[in-house]
Amino acid sequence: MERAAVFDVDGTLVDTNHLHVTTWWEAFRQAGHHVSMHAIHRSVGLGSTDLIAHLLGDNLEDEEVAALSAAHKALYGAYFDRLPAFEDAGRLLKRLDAAGWTVVLATSAGGTELSALRRAIDADDAIRATASADDVEAGKPAPEPVHHALDLVGIPPERAVFVGDTVWDMRAGTRAGVTCVGVLCGGIPRASLEDAGADTVYRDPVHLLTSLEEGSGPLGRPAPPAE
């Protein structure tokens, strides 16, 4: 039976979290909201609407939420032609594909942003499907994005590993019933990821690739027998 390796993208495969922090900070500032970069960083990983509600409360008018999201999108879009993948991110996905894993992306990005992220990763041949938070009613930390990713490839949660860099990723994966792997390259502390449900934590894609090639960790261990 196949196994699924589901990956978050921002902060996990592509080094974009601090770009998101800066552009959200500027979007809030332009609208007259003073939000610390630290608070924004801890909120990255939520979808735009949820991030705004988490930081500003849920009493804003729909028009203001839409304007803030549009401002962030425009500011962040200036970087689309030079988004930096983490070292060995693409190689990791290709190695997993060669080892028999079904590689799926689970991200809140879509459209031109998702295209830019995939160009940065440069591993399209290894990616079997992409699930966006826009395809579900509730984004992370709800389990729906992970369930949707697995539904796209027809693999059950007990045969899946979800790799992410935020507490929202770990909570979503835990609620979805998958094995959760955290990475530190998004800037969230190890303890926070473990408290949110990470089974193991690695530094970055390079560290994950090493564990895979050494046959250790959730991605390197042999597949469990089919029931």
What pLDDT digit, counting tens, does each position of 143-181 carry? 999 999 999 999 999 999 999 999 999 999 999 999 999
pLDDT of residue 225: 64
Q: Where are the alpha helices (DSSP H) in 78-216?
A: 89-98, 111-121, 144-153, 167-176, 190-195, 205-214
State whether 42 and 127 are in the same domain: no
- From 78, 97, 118, the end of a domain falls on 78
* Full domain range(s) for residue 24: 17-78
Print burial letters for 38-67: b (CB count within 10 Å at least 16), e (below 16): eebbbbbbbbbbbbbbebbeeebeeeebee
Residue 130 lies in a domain: yes
pLDDT of residue 210: 96
Residue 226 lies in a domain: no
pLDDT of residue 227: 58
pLDDT of residue 111: 87
State whether 92 and 22 are in the same domain: no
The half-sphere exposure of 21 on its side-chain side, counting CA atoms within 13 A, is: 15
Per-residue pLDDT of the chain (227 residues; tens, 9 = 90+): 799 999 999 999 999 999 999 999 999 999 999 999 999 999 999 999 999 999 999 999 999 999 999 999 999 999 999 999 999 999 999 999 999 999 999 998 888 999 999 999 999 999 999 998 678 788 899 999 999 999 999 999 999 999 999 999 999 999 999 999 999 999 999 999 999 999 999 999 999 999 999 999 999 877 666 65
State whether 89 and 44 are in the same domain: no
State whether 43 and 88 are in the same domain: no
Q: Are 175 and 143 in contact (CB under 8 A)?
A: yes
State whether 119 and 9 are in the same domain: yes
- From 26, 55, 78, the end of a domain falls on 78
* Structural domains of the chain, count: 2
State whether 156 and 98 are in the same domain: yes
45 Cβ neighbours under 8 A, 6+ residues apart: 8, 10, 11, 140, 164, 165, 166, 167, 168, 169, 186
> pLDDT by residue (tens digit) across 81-94?
999 999 999 999 99
pTM of the model: 0.95
State whether 133 and 205 are in the same domain: yes
179 Cβ neighbours under 8 A, 6+ residues apart: 160, 161, 162, 173, 199, 218
| Three-state DSSP state, 127 | strand
Say which DSSP state 166 is in: S
Residue 116 lies in a domain: yes
